[in-house]
Amino acid sequence: MSEQVNEQSLNDSFWYADWSFPIFVALLSAGIFAGTHMYYVYHIGAFNDVAIVAMLEAGIQGAGYGAAAAFGASFLFARILEGSLVGILDIGGSLQTGLGIGVPALLLGAGITAPVESFTLSLITGGLLGVLIGYAIIGIRKFTVGKSNSTFGADIMMGAGNASGRFLGPLIVISAASASIPIGIGSIAGAAIFYAWKKPVAGGAILGAMLFGAFFPVSLE
């Protein structure tokens, strides 16, 4: 495509223009925020990793929304800056974690439950915030583009993010082994098989634990 389209027509076309960017962000944000609504109401469908959803869950269970709110909000802040400087907005940090976990945690922590409890309101809230984020990025971009050539350590953070993801597999086996002996054995077998198949160890550990948990259930006391 890029070879046929010159720079002038790039900014005229809806699909490539700066002004249409907030619309795409708004749609994605509305969906992600509504995903958090699904998690809040039905306990399914949050657009994030188990480790991060667990922070929101801790808040829902009454342990305080502080960690989720601070974690999410600062990711959102950092990724908006980075996204406008490098030209690629990282949706994992900005929208999935920042908007999908951080903002709901802020709202719920302040006692405002309506935008998360109602499906329609969650779509509207997510969409409006998405438009704001989109315009913020385009705005910073206009203001700083060409003035800075730094990636602000994005590669380092991504490296650390991926490294922490690797910890999850062994950690799941450890906590499965602490839950009960059958679940532990299932988890060990699943992790070993997945590793041998060159699949993510965490996935095997979860499936193994759940398979054995189906036959030898534990209670949630």
Q: Closest separation between CB of residue 174 and another protein, Å?
A: 7
Which ranges constitute the DSSP H helices of 118-200?
119-144, 154-179, 181-196
* 175 makes contact with another protein (CB under 8 A): yes
Q: Which of residues 5-24 bind another protein (CB under 8 A)?
A: 7, 10, 15-16, 18, 21, 24
Query: Which of 30, 103, 105, 191 is close enough to bind another protein by CB under 8 A?
Result: 30
Q: How many CB atoms lie within 10 A of CB 217?
A: 11
CA distance 11 to 110: 41
Q: How many CB atoms lie within 10 A of CB 92?
A: 18
Q: Closest separation between CB of residue 96 and another protein, Å?
A: 5
Query: Which of 114, 117, 164, 181 is close enough to bind another protein by CB under 8 A?
Result: 164
Q: Closest separation between CB of residue 112 and another protein, Å?
A: 13
Task: Please state whether 181 falls in left (phi above 0), alpha (psi between -120 and 50) or beta.
Answer: alpha
Q: Closest separation between CB of residue 157 and another protein, Å?
A: 6
End-to-end CA distance of the chain: 59
| Residue whose C-alpha is closest to residue 104's, from 62, 63, 74, 59 | 59
Q: What is the dihedral of CA 58, 62, 63, 65, to 10 degrees?
A: 70
* 62 makes contact with another protein (CB under 8 A): no
Query: Which of 45, 112, 113, 117 is close enough to bind another protein by CB under 8 A?
Result: 45
Q: Closest separation between CB of residue 141 and another protein, Å?
A: 6
* 112 makes contact with another protein (CB under 8 A): no
Query: Which of 108, 154, 188, 191 is close enough to bind another protein by CB under 8 A?
Result: 154
Query: Which of 103, 107, 123, 188 is close enough to bind another protein by CB under 8 A?
Result: 123
